[in-house]
Structure 1
Amino acid sequence: MTVALMWEAKAAEGRGAELLEWARANAPGREPERREYFAAPGGRVLVITWWDADFSDGLPELPDPPRELTARPVHRWRFRQV
């Protein structure tokens, strides 16, 4: 089964590039099948990882960034391929 983990954060004013840099530098140690980074207007950063795994597997999540980098709590979603 393929599982996609999505991690999305909104940067504090003017800190979008710094948040993206932080996300790239803090990827969990276990490597997914695929990892992609996206940026959007308003300082939003999205990281999607794809895993050959099951929902119940202990997949590593990208941690929360330092509070001063974000405008709100991080959002996380898990999807399975159908």
Structure 2
Amino acid sequence: MTVALMWEAKAADGRGKDLLAWARAQDLPRAPLRRETFSAPEERVLVITWWDAPYAADLPELPPPPPDLAARAPHRWRFESLGTED
């Protein structure tokens, strides 16, 4: 089974590039199958990691960013892959 973990944070005013750099620099205790980082308007940063694991597995996640970088606590979601469509 493939599980995707999503981590999304909104940067403090003017700190979008700093939050993005911080998120990219975070090492996880073990490597996911894939890791992708996104940005969006309003200085939002999204990181998705894919894992070959059961849905309820204990998987490493990005920590909360330092308070001076974030406008709020990050949002986190967990999804089970249902496959791809052509």
Specify if TM > 0.5: yes
The structure that is helix-richer by fraction is 1
Q: Does 1:20 align with 2:26?
A: no
| Runs of 4 or more consecutive aligned structure 1 residues displaced over 6 Å after TM superposition | none
- What is the CA-CA distance between 1:27 and the residue it aligns to? 2.9
Question: For 2:27 and 2:45, how far apart are their aligned partners in 1?
Answer: 14
Tell me the equivalent position of 1:53.
53
Tell me the equivalent position of 2:6.
6
Tell me the equivalent position of 1:77.
77
Which structure: larger Rg? 2
Q: Which runs of 5+ in 1 are unaligned?
A: none
Q: Which runs of 5+ in 2 are unaligned?
A: none
**Residue identity matched to 1:23:** A
TM-score normalised according to structure 1 size: 0.96
- What is the CA-CA distance between 1:73 and the residue it aligns to? 1.1
- What is the CA-CA distance between 1:63 and the residue it aligns to? 0.3
- What is the CA-CA distance between 1:57 and the residue it aligns to? 1.4
- What is the CA-CA distance between 1:56 and the residue it aligns to? 2.1
Question: For 2:56 and 2:80, how far apart are their aligned partners in 1?
Answer: 11
The 3-state SS of whatever aligns with 1:18 is helix
Number of residue pairs the alignment of both structures matches: 82
TM-score normalised according to structure 2 size: 0.91
Identical positions, percent: 66
Q: What's the CA shift string for 1:25-67, capped at 9, x where partnerless?
A: 1131210000000001111000001111112211001000001
